[in-house]
Structure formats: structure tokens, C-alpha cells
Amino acid sequence: MQVKDQEKVEFNVTLEGLSCPSCAAKIEGVLRREKGVESATVSVAAGKVRVKYDPRLTTSARFNQILAGFGFLVQDRA
């Protein structure tokens, strides 16, 4: 996959059972610290995770791994 210098990719998923605002904040913080992540938002109300990232530096598989570490399995790409 070729990526232009400024091109970013979005990772959007639904997490079932996400109901804790402090958990969402922790997940957001971990995702934001991941190398190559430009932004990460976790919505408790919608149960959605959105990450904008540089695919040359990290992958969606890595985000799935992080979410699994918090006990969540990705439901679908939102």
C-alpha cells in the first residue's frame, strides 16, 4: 500500500458493552499514545471508537489488540 506523506487512515468500530466513561478515557489515552496515531475518540453514548492514523506506523490489528486488552472484542467496522 502506498501512502502519501500526509495521508491518514481511519479505524472505526463498534464496541458492545462500553458504558463506563472512565474506561473510555483510558482506552482513548492508550490509543493516542500509540505511534502513528493522529487522533482517537471513544464515544460511550454510541459505543464507537474512531482512530485516525498513519498506516506506515501502526495497523488496525494493533488497535484490535489494544481493545482486546481492555476486554472488548470488535463488533464491526462502524
Condensed to tens digits (0 to 9), the pLDDT of residues 10-66 reads: 999 998 888 999 999 999 999 999 999 999 999 999 999 999 999 999 999 999 999
Asked if 55 and 3 touch (Cβ cutoff 8 Å), the reply is yes
pLDDT of residue 36: 97
Write phi, then psi, for 15 (nearest 5 degrees): -115, 120
Q: Could you count the other beta carbons within 10 Å of the beta carbon of residue 31? A: 23
In a domain? residue 4: no
In a domain? residue 3: no
Q: Looking at the predicted structure, is the pLDDT value of residue 2 above 70?
A: no
Q: Which residue has the cell 505511534?
A: 35
pTM equals 0.85
Number of domains in the chain: 1
Asked if 48 and 15 touch (Cβ cutoff 8 Å), the reply is yes
Type of residue numbered 17 = G
Residue 70's domain spans which residues? 9-77
CATH code of the domain containing 60: 3.30.70.100
In a domain? residue 60: yes
pLDDT of residue 77: 61
Q: Looking at the predicted structure, is the pLDDT value of residue 74 above 80?
A: no
In a domain? residue 63: yes
